[in-house]
Amino acid sequence: MIEFFFLLAVLLFIAVLFYRETKDSFEILQLEAERLAELPDLYVEKQPIVLRGLSLPPLGTYSELKKRPHILQLGVTDTLTLDALLHSPQLPSFRFKDEMAAFLAKESGLPIWCARNLYPMILPSPRFVYTTKESLWPSHRGLWKTTAVYTFCTPTQGMASVKLLLPSMIPYLPVNWERMNFDSLKTEDTPLLSQLQFIEVKVRPGTALCIPAHILVNITQHSESTETLFTYIVDIHHPISRFA
């Protein structure tokens, strides 16, 4: 019995190592919503995918949150409620916690709607192997590295600017780059700022970006957006990606 568990642990370790292998380039693929059922077939390409023409309910917006005042009155700092923060000059630099983003997603109702109407089409087969982790981010989400098989991102309000970087760019970033806003980096933060290469994708409501594992991502409100950005993010995991 001990030998069996040891062998299982070794196999899992090897699987995680293979899963962590990264690409040295990527290209943007596109798919119309009317062909959404074909999306899982594109996952094998391990490339970012733009989905166009999605029809999502008007949830996860500021106007929807206003219908539940107790959410907007949550304290996010010692002096600011969520509502005050959303109208504060501190918003572009504030670092939201994962727990807050997960709470906002749950309260938005989007996970329930997506579980019935979206996930059956975007989850690979066999679907019971895959799990999802939802979050709703006001204004922005600083740099992070995707670990899920695919990460589904769509703005529920406003227009998003999504920056994508390869892991090979990490040596050019500041030591503590995670959660930093890529758009705010200066030469004082990293002397090799000019060497950083990235792709920017403009994502509007009704459009989604699906991002494969091992890509560095930064989401901010696009300069053309007139509304505060809210971005709904779904991490699609299988058992191995949970350990990566």
Note the pLDDT tens digit of each residue in 204-228. 999 999 999 999 999 999 999 999 9
16 in a domain, yes or no? no
User: In sequence order, what are the residues at sequence separation of 6 or more whose Cβ sits closer than 8 angstroms to the Cβ of residue 137?
Assistant: 96, 101, 104, 219, 230, 231, 233
- CATH number for the domain spanning 214: value is 2.60.120.650
Of 213, 178, 168, whose CA–CA distance to 18 is shortest? 213
81 in a domain, yes or no? yes
Predicted local distance difference test score (pLDDT) of residue 177? 96
**Structural domain harbouring 209:** 23-243
Write out residues in the chain with pLDDT < 50, as ranges: 3-19
53 in a domain, yes or no? yes
Predicted local distance difference test score (pLDDT) of residue 126? 87
Predicted local distance difference test score (pLDDT) of residue 26? 81
* Stated pTM of the model: 0.90
**CA–CA distance, 89 with 103 (Å, rounded to integer):** 23
The total number of structural domains that make up the chain: 1
